[in-house]
Amino acid sequence: MSILRTAFLKASESAWLRERAPRHRFVRRSVARFLPGESADDALAAARRLADSGISTLLSQLGENIEHRSGAEAVVEQYRDVLARIHAAGLPSDLSVKLTQLGLDLDPEFCFANLAQLAESALAASTPGGGTIWIDMEHSPYVDATLEIYRRARAKFPNVAVCVQAYLYRTEKDVESLIAQGANVRLVKGAYDEPSEIALPKKSDVDENYFRLAQMLLSAEARKSGARVALATHDRKLIARIADWAAAQGIPRDRLEFDMLYGIQRAEQLRLVREGYRCRVLVSYGSYWFPWFMRRLAERPANVLFLARNLWGG
């Protein structure tokens, strides 16, 4: 792992920086590239603009590790309101939630009940292109608990899906199990500071593992089980490699979904839609954006250069 990536990941965990860095104008100006605004209104407006271009969205309120039940309950109510507004507007939008935002640190049963509320609301307010609750994956200590809650929820709610991280050594076995369940899976590279004992430290190795996991999730076995995959990456070379492999397997383009972050690779998003692939953009909102922003900088050197230009520009 590069020194710069490590530094940004450490910064994402710093309460001191989380409190002070957002006060600086250049930091707020930089994050605006990735965040349309802090309110749900801002996120929904961005979702409408993207829908006009044929791009679906995932909406996510930033925040994690809720410390009080009242905070988790407020998150659930906010998300239920957003689901109703998605339905009213007919937007092709889903929700992406973190289980620690729903109270996982407080009580797994309380967290499960909150997730169930959202799944029920999403089913009732589903639109032709939406209605899924995507469970995000957090630090490695949460993987087992996240997958357990996902499996319980999936047994009751067909519209619950889960994220897995390609940089973890364990993910191949997790993917095998998820394929057997016919799961909907979002494949990401991973954006936390993990020890080399459990996560691949080299980017090239992560890329190769990502491609191998994508092949598994797009395989004939996975398709037969009903499993679906959303491929979350901004790496155009990796996208092209997966697309070429899928074409050689006879997999239709509209079977492939590529997910990206708001504000990144806009031209690539439009190209994918134009060429018949599905594309979904994660639109985040909320005031708790500093840790998330640091992880975005750690993911891609181009994001760091963008920050530097804002810093030098004053």
The 8-class DSSP code of residue 196 comes to T
- Alpha carbon distance 179, 113 (integer Å): 25
> Of these residues, 105, 136, 174, 207, which one is catalytic?
136
- Alpha carbon distance 244, 27 (integer Å): 39
Of the candidates 114, 41, 126, the residue with the CA atom closest to the CA atom of residue 75: 114
**What's the helix, strand, coil split of the chain in %, to 5?**
55, 15, 30
> Of these residues, 186, 228, 278, 280, which one is catalytic?
186
- Alpha carbon distance 78, 204 (integer Å): 39
- Alpha carbon distance 209, 207 (integer Å): 5
Beta strands in 66-159 (DSSP E): 93-97, 133-135
Q: Tell how strand 133-135 and strand 93-97 pair up.
A: parallel
Active site residue 80: no
| Surface-to-core class of residue 17, CB atoms within 10 Å of its CB (0-12 exposed, 13-18 middle, 19+ buried) | middle
Active site residue 136: yes
Which residues are annotated as catalytic?
136, 186
